[in-house]
Amino acid sequence: MGDRSERGSAKHKRRTTIAGDAAGAQAKRGGAGETLSGQVKEKEQRHETPANKHKSHSDAGDDAFSCHKLQESLLSSNSGYSNYRGILNWCVVMLVLSNARLVLENLIKYGILVDPIQIISLFLKDPYSWPALCLIIVSNVFIMAALYIERKLSVGTISECTGTFLHCINLAALLFVPAATVLSVSSMTPVGGVMALGVFTVLFLKLYSYRDVNKWCRESRRAKARTLSRSHSCPSVHKANGTAGYTHVSYPGNLTHRDIYYFIFVPTLCYELNFPRSPRIRKRFLLRRLLEMLFLMQLMIGLIQQWMVPTIQNSMKPFQDMDLSRIVERLLKLAVPNHFIWLIFFYWYFHSSMNFVAELMQFGDREFYRDWWNSETIPYFWSNWNIPVHKWCLRHFYKPMLVKGVNKFTAQLAVFFMSAFFHEYLVSVPLKMFRLWAFLGMMAQIPLAYFVGRFLRGNYGNAAVWMSLIIGQPIAVLMYFHDYYVLHYGNAAEGVAA
């Protein structure tokens, strides 16, 4: 009996142990899976045939020693590579070296031609006669005329038709009075004439915008008055502060001397009642722009005297002899300094000077240019290199023509025609001769724009835009200088030759 009980208890223990082992094995099955799979792989490797072993080793060897893959060359357009910083640095180095050679050659051939006294003579013939400055001072008469016409219109003293007629007379006088003065005053130098006419041209565009915006305000006020008369209610007037702490101005509260003269001096051609204002004047920024202006002005004048003037003077004989190969050679030789000076002028005027004035006047909108250097079409260049003029043309000339039913192509032609007129106005009148080279050069942009937009794309279009800038301007410079030289010094040259 005792043996049976012991055997029974042993069997019970054995069953319990087996059950416990089975539960533990089931819990550890997941962890032991990797070990089992590894053992299976080892068994498979032990039972591998020599052929399978040779195949696996050959595949691993191919992957380990492979050095080729499917790919394009870096300079191919399909490669997607775009980091050409080293090539750009190389271009800059080559440009510096080539121009250093030209500078050295110029100094050896002509010596130092920079003359400060000659610079003063470009602006003044007589030190006691300042006709350009006097003409600029007289421009205040036209500013006051525009202001008082608008004041009369705001209170209803004169009708819209009378106001429009007076504005037209004032704007026409802005163009014809300075032109007649420059042509009639003998002491006016070409450089002084360009400066005076440039000021009056900017003033013409500003006062045209001033007249338009105030007219729009009167029309809006009349429309609101009709609405209020129908509803027999009057809204409360609220004067809000601007972002920089300036009082919000509404029409006709803007018709003040302070307002119009602020508009005259800020670097924009489009009038607004409330301009965006910067919170403060940054003195370091202002000083940097001032130093840039002074340095770049001296650099431009020095390059014109040392580099451009001798090249232009040496171009007269090929023009007189009509030697085509020599004319082309002179044109290409003039293209480099002319384009270099034009780039310096762009930075001096549109970045340094305009930012200096804007910072001084706390004018907030500093978009004076966009990325015109990436232009792939001619219209993109003309709409991005001079943003103040582009905004004015779009706001006061192009869109009003579209509203009146003029189609887009005709409106674009009209914009180019107006631009061509002002280019010729600013060149022919100070030189006191009318040859239309600037006008024809601007109008030639129309077929060129069609050709580039139709047949050239991407980098080719960008190269065409750069070529038109580099080659087009020296052609106009040579043509004007040749005609000016023949007109003023032709008889003296013939007498010396005789």
Q: Which residues are catalytic?
A: 423
Q: Say how far apart CA 45 and CA 249 lie, in whole Å.
A: 90
**C-alpha pair distances (Å), 225 with each of 62, 156, 158, 249:** 87, 15, 19, 19
How far from chain centre, in Å, is Cα 497? 48
What single-letter amino acid sits at 497?
A
Q: Say how far apart CA 126 and CA 305 lie, in whole Å.
A: 21
Q: Say how far apart CA 390 and CA 380 lie, in whole Å.
A: 11
Q: Say how far apart CA 282 and CA 277 lie, in whole Å.
A: 13
DSSP 173: H
- 311 close to 333: Cβ distance less than 8 angstroms: yes
**Torsion angle (degrees, nearest 10) of CA 284, 285, 286, 287:** 50
Nearest to 468 by CA among 480, 481, 453, 482: 453
- Determine the Cα angle at 328 with ends 327 and 330, to 5°: 65
CA atoms within 13 A on the CB side of 172: 6
